[in-house]
Amino acid sequence: MNRYRNSFYFILFSIFFLSENHAFSEPHGPEIIYHPFSKITPYDINNKWFPIGWSVRVDNIWGQGHPTNPDPQNICEWENGYVYYLVGQGHSWVNCLHLIPNDNREAWGLDRWRTEPEWSSTELYKRALISLEQIKIDSSGIFDFKAFPRMISHLGPQGSAFLYVLHTSGTWKDGINDPPSYYNIPQSDEEILRFRINFFENYPQLGGWILDDEPYGGKIAEDNGVRDYVYNQLLYVKNIIETNDGNISSHPIHCIVRGYGNYDIDPCINPQYLYRLNNLNIGDYIHDDLYVYDFTDQYGNPWVTPWLYLANIRTRMAIKNLIEPICGAPANNIHAWMLWYQGQSYDDEAPGCVNLDDNNENGRLTEEQLRYLCYTSWINGAQGAMFWELSKSDPIMFTRARKITFEANLLKSYLLESDADINATITSTNDDDSTAQFIIRKDPNFIPNSTHKSKVMMMICNNSVFQTNLWIQFPQNQIIDFSTVSGIIPSYQWSFTPDYVNNRLGVGIASCRGRSFTFKILAD
């Protein structure tokens, strides 16, 4: 079989590898303080939850041609009232959606085209929640789906992303395609927000609130003189949510930020904005989104080497800045961090969108690159897998995104566990010892028996530019049952070398690749 050729070569290489002497190094594997999501009550570790999902626009919920919704801009994320991606294709592992209002009108609870009574977009939100539950009931029998509607949108006229519309009544009318006849808009922002909050707060499907998408509090906002203004707007909305949601204890407030660019999340670099972290906390949960062009500068030069390692850096930076108290930042252990991966594809001719590994993939990431981004983030503490609007993407990126979310579903029970407390170490590589990371997590559902005392999942990432062949040394009181080593899905392109004598596991892994597999530990 062709797909096993690489395994064959790895075995050949391993024969060579076994004969070589390799320096022993320090143990690998990060010790992460992570804070999983909860689907019931924020910060409730007894109800840990691994969000897996996508963003969809909400304003076309009844599909094409619905009289209340003639606007085709959302390009069919809904099919006859159901999310297109979830219809008939077995995406039973998707457990949440971020509902995107089409624009400021939607965010304010107003119908985009004003053909229905006011508040109709809120009605669409409600229908979205009901539809999602129905899909899950029909397809999997699971009544367990969460939706996160976004409360405000800051897109201003002509794409001026830093310009917020709250407290700037009238600017929303200047949007593209706005018919001039939109009047009778409630003038009170708070009135609109209260209406929406009260409308949603008792729905069990409501998972929480998305405060905003990429609020601009960073350099761009500063250059435009609106930094404090943006901050105050977010705080204003957050306060309205907190004071009007009768179930706020069950509804965490999320916010989507960009680790580089949109907001000052490094309290060491911007200590003057510590109060914002303290007062606003940006959101209870943070989602960082990573674009294709984040990895290089405008000329296509990578920020770091290897270039995909940026995802690793950003996750660790976010954990450090937002969860661990540093530089006088408020100690705050309530945040969870999640990377929000861009399923979009971008202009493959733009220098900043070059795929430095595979030029046929300029403007997007390959499946393996996307997998590495997720794995290296999960290893470093990210919790969840979310992809941005797939309708804005293409069939290729959609296919890749759903593969990764499927893997997230297979891995989530392990990723929600704390460290397996197995003191394994990487004992030799043919490369810089500091470039590989791994985690080992127990299967919480495994029941010990006379043969095996535990089952674990191991996830490894090679963060170097070179292929790495490494030995993972297990302690003598944790004997691997090599016969149980298994890739996370049957056709996984992966191989290993058992060393029964030394209780070592040999793994060969290419540059910027992530792999995960499970095995059992023999009973003592």
Partner 1 sequence: MNKHFLFFLLIMALTSRASWSQQQYQPGKLVIQPIQPVAQEVLPFTQEEIDFVFRWRDSRSIDTNFDGSMLVESQKTYLLNSERNAINKVVDGNTPTTVIEQLNLSYMGDKLAYITEDSKYNYVYIINPLTKDTIVTYSEKKEIVVDKIVHLEANADLTRLVYTYSYGPSYNRLVVLNNEGGMIKKVFEIKQNSDEESLYESLDNIVVSDSGNHIFYTASFPTTVMKEGKPINVYETGMYELTYDNNTWVGPTKIFVDGFSTLKPLGVAKDGDMLLFRAFQKGVHILKRTSEGWSEPVLITENSSGFNQYVISADGLVIAAAQARPPLPPLGSDAPLYFDINLYFFDENKPNLYRKHSLTNTDVYSFGHLLLSRDGTRLFWKPEVKSGIHLFGN
Under rule CB under 8 A, which residues in 119-178 are in contact with partner 1? 155, 158-159, 161, 176-177
Nearer to partner 1, 177 or 445 (CB): 177
Give every CB contact of residue 354 below 8 A, 6+ residues apart in sequence.
296, 300, 362
* In the complex, least distance from residue 400 CB atom to partner 1, rounded to whole angstroms: 8
Neighbouring C-beta atoms of residue 464, cutoff 10 Å: 21
CB 116 within 8 A of CB 124: no
* In the complex, least distance from residue 76 CB atom to partner 1, rounded to whole angstroms: 5
Nearer to partner 1, 17 or 414 (CB): 17
**Binding partner 1 by CB under 8 A: which of 33, 327, 489, 523?**
489
Residues 430-449 contacting partner 1, CB under 8 A = 430-431
* In the complex, least distance from residue 63 CB atom to partner 1, rounded to whole angstroms: 9
**Binding partner 1 by CB under 8 A: which of 16, 395, 421, 501?**
395
* In the complex, least distance from residue 409 CB atom to partner 1, rounded to whole angstroms: 10
Question: With CB under 8 A as the contact rule, which of the stretches 116-124, 268-276, 463-471, 478-486 interacts with partner 1?
Answer: 463-471
* Binding of partner 1 by 182 (CB under 8 A): no
Distance between CA atoms of residues 119 and 115, nearest Å: 11
Distance in Å from the first CA to the final CA of the chain: 38
**HSE-up of 68 (CA within 13 Å, CB side)?**
17
Residues 235-274 contacting partner 1, CB under 8 A = 261
Q: Amino acid identity, residue 216?
A: Y
* In the complex, least distance from residue 59 CB atom to partner 1, rounded to whole angstroms: 12
**Binding partner 1 by CB under 8 A: which of 222, 357, 443, 481?**
357
* Binding of partner 1 by 11 (CB under 8 A): no
Q: Amino acid identity, residue 497?
A: T
Nearer to partner 1, 66 or 173 (CB): 66
**C-alpha R_g of the chain:** 24
Nearer to partner 1, 361 or 499 (CB): 361
Q: Amino acid identity, residue 97?
A: L
Token look-up 């794995």 returns 375
Nearer to partner 1, 123 or 368 (CB): 368
* In the complex, least distance from residue 354 CB atom to partner 1, rounded to whole angstroms: 9
**Can you give the three-state secondary structure of 327-377, one letter per residue?**
CCCCCCCCCEEEEEECCCCCCCCCHHHCCCCCHHHCCCCCHHHHHHHHHHH
* In the complex, least distance from residue 47 CB atom to partner 1, rounded to whole angstroms: 27
**Binding partner 1 by CB under 8 A: which of 309, 406, 414, 438?**
406
Stretch 287-326: interaction string toward partner 1, x if CB under 8 A:
----x-x----x----------------------------
* Binding of partner 1 by 465 (CB under 8 A): yes
Please tell me whether residue 476 adopts helix, strand or coil conformation.
coil
* Binding of partner 1 by 361 (CB under 8 A): yes
Nearer to partner 1, 73 or 243 (CB): 73
* Binding of partner 1 by 467 (CB under 8 A): yes
Distance between CA atoms of residues 165 and 157, nearest Å: 9
* Binding of partner 1 by 362 (CB under 8 A): yes
Distance between CA atoms of residues 122 and 197, nearest Å: 10
* In the complex, least distance from residue 55 CB atom to partner 1, rounded to whole angstroms: 15
Residues 185-204 contacting partner 1, CB under 8 A = none
Cα separations (Å) of 218 from 82, 214, 427? 37, 10, 43
Q: Amino acid identity, residue 419?
A: D
Token look-up 């949109």 returns 262
- Cα dihedral value 511, 340, 74, 245, nearest 10: 170
Residue 151 in tokens = 């409360």
Residues 80-109 contacting partner 1, CB under 8 A = 80, 84, 87-90, 92
* In the complex, least distance from residue 65 CB atom to partner 1, rounded to whole angstroms: 4
Distance between CA atoms of residues 21 and 427, nearest Å: 11
Closest of 416, 417, 437 to residue 425, by C-alpha: 437
* In the complex, least distance from residue 402 CB atom to partner 1, rounded to whole angstroms: 5
Residues 23-82 contacting partner 1, CB under 8 A = 64-67, 70-73, 75-76, 79-80
Q: How many residues bind partner 1, per CB under 8 A?
A: 77
Question: With CB under 8 A as the contact rule, which of the stretches 33-41, 271-279, 394-402, 420-428 interacts with partner 1?
Answer: 394-402
**Binding partner 1 by CB under 8 A: which of 38, 250, 281, 391?**
391
Largest CA distance in the chain: 80
Give every CB contact of residue 246 below 8 A, 6+ residues apart in sequence.
201, 202
* In the complex, least distance from residue 142 CB atom to partner 1, rounded to whole angstroms: 15
Nearer to partner 1, 190 or 357 (CB): 357
* In the complex, least distance from residue 199 CB atom to partner 1, rounded to whole angstroms: 27
* In the complex, least distance from residue 234 CB atom to partner 1, rounded to whole angstroms: 18
Distance between CA atoms of residues 438 and 163, nearest Å: 42
Token look-up 């977009």 returns 121
Peptide bond into 180 cis (omega under 30): no
